[in-house]
Chains A and B, each alone.
Chain A
Amino acid sequence: MKRMKGTEIFVECLRREGVEVIFGHPGGAILPIYDRLYDAEIRHILMRHEQAAAHAADGYARASGRVGVAMATSGPGATNLVTGIASAFMDSVPMVVFTGQVPSTLIGTDAFQEADVVGITRPCTKHNYLVLRTEDLARTIREAFYLARTGRPGPVLVDLPKDIQLSECEFEYPEQVHLRGYRPVLDGDREAIRRAAVAILEAERPVIYAGGGVIASDGAEELRRLAEIGRIPVATTLMGLGGFPTEHPLSLGMLGMHGSWYANTAISRCDLLIALGVRFDDRVTGKLSEFAPTARKIHVDIDPAEINKNVRVDIPIVGDVRRVLSVLNAEMEGLVSTHGTAAWVRKRQQWLAQIAEWKRTYPFRYEYDERVIKPQWVIEEIARITQGEAILTTDVGQHQMWAAQYYRFKHPRTWITSGGLGAMGFGLPAAIGAWFARRDRPVIAICGDGSFQMTMQELAVVAEHRIPVKVVILNNFFLGMVRQWQQIFYNGRYAASDLRVSPDYAKIAEAYGLRGHTVRRPEELVGLLEQTLLASEPVILDVQVAAEENVYPMVPPGAAITEMILGPLETTAVADSKESIA
């Protein structure tokens, strides 16, 4: 055994966890660790605001599937992290967050930059620790990483008083983690899986409802197998985008409040709902009593607390989505070989034909306009240029929904968005984090003008490391989603949603030493977009889009998901088809 200082133990434990990069911001109470990092191999990226450090660690974790690490000082440094931690918690992102704390002798004295950080973050972390003895440091860090990445992933915070960082103790690395209150169940119950396979075999109108659990468990391949073996259409949640290719014939795209007409309609008419790694969120289900009302329900989730939380299900299976699907698929293949595929195919044919017709008749639609740039068109062009090979991060609002609707997703871990918490300002820092995880893919931050202003100081990080992210701002000079709600639900009274006084984003880029362009006319868009996305350096593109465009379809909050408000073109399509039926 070797005597080591707290800061040395910290670096050694992170090295053993395979940490390559930390996103952080220094300050007094964490300075001993920063001083140690100065000579360490682990890279530290100085973010310009702690919120961005947490979002960057989140983006890194989601793009790589590994644990993201964020760090800040005590007090305000730690409180600034909270939004990013809460977002990671809602979206089950594996993260370990380190905060400096005032020396343990000063805790509770209202010392300078003191805050009760374990108290503040208790409801938005999977677990958290205040380390009060240097002897506990190695074990705590080991547990923190273990908790963050296993079971249902989530952020874990470790609060480090300054004296704990500075004291010495005998260092012994704990090879084993022993937590008697923590036993995640990974393998689903065999009997329940068998029942699920039979239910799928018996169903005439099954639909898969796939969420973030598919991505988190690296289960996209197994999902595709299940859909293809069972000939089952797949609707994904916002968090599940990328878990199933948009262009697959069985894809229904996104469901929910701004989901496709055909996904929401298929869910409402299905006789079997196969929910995979989802939590029946209100933005997905709308009015609960009318969500898949006639369906039997299978629910696979790693977190037992999600089972029967919002919706009672018939076949609950607690386990890791990928592992459960791999057993289920084997079971299905067995059933297919015993019973043959002919009957099966016949059974599904009508349902699949119906869905194919819905997809043809009611796709996502908008009115193209040659005088003004439609935001949906920008996303379509990004999808065309990147061929679905880019990593997209977003902020929160209309642009986020348009990106979800109009991008053509191909791969898991290429869609990174603040889904549950809906934290504006997520896009740029998450893109920075994603780039450190995956240098082989282009990274595009699709931002709203409102959201971008919340974290645009991170352009300094882009400039410092010449990170070749592309920022595409869908700029409508409004808090667009707020304005849309005000238009629809508040008689068009645009209270505090007007952003007409905004900076010139191209000049902001320039001020940071970056390239920036403004696109105002439709005829400029394609050229500038191609030039931007193919550039080898960072570019900020301010695309000034139709100011009062709305996201459709839209399910009003609390309504059934079939009660969609449609856009002008979609309304015409639905009316036409009703006429033709009549």
Chain B
Amino acid sequence: MPAKKSAEQDSHKPPLICMREVNKFFGTFQALDKVSLDIGASEKVVICGPSGSGKSTLIRCINRLEQHDAGEIMIDGVTVDDSAAARAVLRNNVGMVFQQFNLFPHLSILDNLTLGPVRARGMAPAAARELAEYYLERVRIPEQMQKFPDQLSGGQQQRVAIARALCMEPRIMLFDEPTSALDPEMIAEVLDVIGELAATGMTMIVVTHEMGFAGHVADKMVFMDHGRIVEMAPPKRFFSKPESDRCKIFLQQILRN
């Protein structure tokens, strides 16, 4: 239904997301250390690394959940800061899915989905409802619109959260460990939905430990450690011959499970 923006990558255009030497401190702890990363339109990037390595902080800086201390982040050519222009660019381009779903517990599934479109995008309620129905169908949760989040399983909640983000019709989706809080039997249903979304040409950044999924979906693998990007490669090379020792050890540990 909603028209997707052109998916093909144009080498003459600047990348959709552009991070230059981004630093982020929490007190004295440096969460990001001169991180530079370019992501083109419809590119899929999977970020992995040990906990505390800055993966989440990186994507949270992109949509301004965290304010970076130095360096520059640009989305579609607009610098991400507190300006109205940056807010508009985030509103029109960036959606996010959280580890803990963060659905609004006091609102029905339908209201969870239409709140953003109606209040932030100024959509008419009827149109927003249609949009919500469309995306609920896409994440395979039809006919649950009047229920409340706590009446759904974890996997269903996370798929609703994905639909909520999609209702803003973003070009970029950020996933912050979307399956880490799920029971094992529910991981597949969520990864399937994310995989389908990847096939539509959505630009995606996914922080995850699901390496099977990553190898399948990613155009680019990023390994982070101590706030730095240690390794960046297409998945084939990334998994077969990682260059750094830290990445090798990490992959051995994570693939053993």
Question: Are the chains A and B members of one assembly?
Answer: no
Residues in chain A within 8 A of chain B (CB atoms): none
